[in-house]
Amino acid sequence: MINRIRDIRKSKGLTLAEVAERCDPPTTAQTIGRLETGMRNLSLVWMNRIAEALNIEPDMLVKGDQAPHPQFVAKLTDKGAEPLNNPHDAILPTQLDSKLPLICVDIEVPQGEYRSGDQLWMRQLAPEDAPKCINRDVLVPRKGGRFAFGRLIDRKGQLVGILPPGAGQRQIVVDNPAWFAVAEMLVRKL
């Protein structure tokens, strides 16, 4: 079985020692290194410990041989496209960043900077995290199973002001939303 511990650890900017320290109970950097390289067997217990340390789901640590994973193969610099010395697995940021739920909004009709066919991946946050969302695009639940979408422009107590994308739109005020979802990643087909 091939594991992705190294790719995920590096994508999070962590050292072997940092991952070892985050394990519960803590372990050594040497043990993490042996698990990464396959010199030590990756048991279910180790998968759970390392996944918890990396703040991901355990199944993300293993990959089958049958399906190739997306790879980072080049970087775009001021000199143009340059090859990477060591291509490595591309791990979606949405899989790594948090245990907070993800939701996706399908854009069917162009809205402001969004085009038809875009997918907007959003991270669901608690109401008290609203100050982190000011001046960012959010999705907010409203009464009756509806939603408000747009730029969070104001918050006063329990009231939030959302400015929908597109010209001539009026501010929507939502009273005491149960959660916020803030835009994290845009997927656009070429």
Mean pLDDT in consecutive groups of 10 residues from the start of the chain, 190 residues: 81 90 93 89 89 85 64 75 76 57 83 87 86 90 88 87 86 90 86
**10 Å Cβ neighbour count for 76?**
8
In a domain, 96, yes or no: no
What's the domain count of the chain? 2
Domain match, 49 and 125 both: no
Provide the residue range defining the domain that includes 160: 102-187
Are 114 and 83 in a shared domain? no
Structure tokens at 167: 């010209």
Residue 110 belongs to domain with CATH number? 2.10.109
- 43 with 64, same domain: the answer is yes
pTM: 0.57
Cβ atoms of 180 and 158 closer than 8 Å: no
Beta bridge partners of 125: 180
Task: Look at residue 94 and tell me if it is in a domain.
Answer: no
